[in-house]
Amino acid sequence: MNGARFARTSAVLMAFWLLLVGTPSIEQVTIGLVVCAALARWVPRLTVAERAPRLTPHRALGLLGHAAALVWSTVTGGVQVAWDALRPHPSFAPRVVERDTGLSRTLSQALYVNTITLSPGTLALDSDDGTVLVHCLSERFADALEEGRIEYRIAQALEE
């Protein structure tokens, strides 16, 4: 790790440490400096070998668009699930679907799995080499996965 990256990582970790501590004493600052320096030196060895894509304005806008779509689908999906749950005869028909994402980057696949898990009515059960096993609360949620909008948004933002 070069010196600039080490200093930057240490500074970010120290800022987070100070945020957690609140009003720090000299002992807490000293402990924080030691722990943050050790983490800054040690953590890069634990990271995935694949380099993250460079954050360009296009990718940043794509990620913001994905976040906005996720918030919207979370709200509307939550209303749908609540409505079905409160009806006298819910229309739940749970099923498990296997979905091949076609996403090549580890970061893209992780974002896809987390998006599914955060979306009401779906839960990612397993993920392996771009194939995701998903529990869907009803056919409507399975159909939404098959449309592939989530993969498309993620691919536009993160894939090359």
Give dist(CA 107, CA 117) in Å, integer.
Answer: 15
| Cross-strand pairs, 124 | 134
CB atoms within 10 A of CB 19: 8
Interval 11-38 mean pLDDT = 88
pTM summary value: 0.67
Give dist(CA 65, CA 23) in Å, integer.
Answer: 37
The mean of the pLDDT values for the chain is: 86
pLDDT value of residue 37 = 87
Residue pLDDT, tens place only, 83-99: 988 988 888 889 999 99
Give dist(CA 62, CA 92) in Å, integer.
Answer: 33
Question: In this predicted model, which residue has the larger pLDDT, 47 or 152?
Answer: 152
Under the banding of pLDDT at 50, 70 and 90, the label for residue 10 is: confident
Interval 133-155 mean pLDDT = 89
| Domain positions in the chain | 3-45, 57-158
